[in-house]
Amino acid sequence: MQRYFIYLAYDGTAYHGWQIQPNGESVQECLMKALATLLRCDVEVVGAGRTDAGVHASLMVAHFDSAAPLDAAFMVDKLNRLLPPDISVYRLRAVKSDAHARFDATTRMYKYYVTTAKIPFDRWYRCRLFQTPDFERMNEAAQTLYDYTDFTSFSKLHTDVKTNNCKIMHAVWTQQDEVTWVFTIKADRFLRNMVRAIVGTLLEVGRGKLTVEGFRRVIEQQDRCQAGTSVPGNALFLVDVSYPEEIFIS
C-alpha cells in the first residue's frame, strides 16, 4: 500500500463540516466517494482536523492509502472533475506508510474575518460588526494567549479529547482594508470551537465589556461558561497545516 497526502480547499457553506455526519453531507464523505470512484474500491480518508459546519478551508490536508502507485497529476485532474465546484484538490504527495495527516501535523493556522460595513459580496465569508471594536486592546489581550497552554475555557463541552493543552505560537489582529480586519492564529493543535470562542471573547474586550486582565481570568478559570459567545463559522478559514519534511517521499 502507498499512502498519499492530499491537499485540498473547500467552501464549507453547504456542508455539515469536514467529518462524516449521519444526517448531513460532509466534505470528507464527498472526497471519499470521488476517490472510491477513481480507485474502484472503498477508500478511508483521514483529515488533519475537523472543521465545523459552515467553516471553510483554503488548505486542508488528508491522507489515504492506495493499493498501487498513483499518477499524482492525473489524480488531481480527475478528482477535480468529479468533485463539486465548492471542493478543489491542489496536490497529491506520496508519504511514508506510517505518516498521519492529523498526528504528524506540527502547526495549523486559521484566519477569522470581520467587517464593519454591510457589503453584499462579503456576507457569506465575513462576520458583520455593527460597531468598531478597539482592535488595539484586542491585540493586547490576544498576546496573553502565549502565556497559557490549557484552553478549556475555549473548548466545546463534552468532547472526547484527552487534553485541552495547546501551544499558541501566533495570535494577532491585522487590518486588511478600510472596513475589514482579520484575526490570524497559529498553534500546534486546536480544540473544537476554540478559534470561534477566542474571537468571541476578544470581541468582548474590544467592546469594553471585558478587560485584558479579565480575559486572562477567563483562561485561568478553565470554564467555558466564563468565555464569550462563539462567533459564526462562516467567517473562519483553515489556511495552513505544516508537517516535517522527512515524512514525504516525493
Which positions are annotated as active-site residues? 52
What angle do the packed helices 135-143 and 212-221 form, to 10 degrees?
40
Cell output for 19: 467529518
110 known member of a binding site: yes
What angle do the packed helices 135-143 and 194-206 form, to 10 degrees?
130
How far, in Å, CA of 186 to CA of 162, rounded? 21
Q: Characterize 134-169 residue by residue with b for buried, 16 or more Cβ atoms within 10 angstroms of its Cβ, and e for exposed.
A: ebebbbebbebbeebeebbbbbeeeeeeeebebebe
How far, in Å, CA of 45 to CA of 27, rounded? 10
User: Which residues sit in the known binding site for substrate?
Assistant: 110
User: Which residues sit in the known binding site?
Assistant: 110
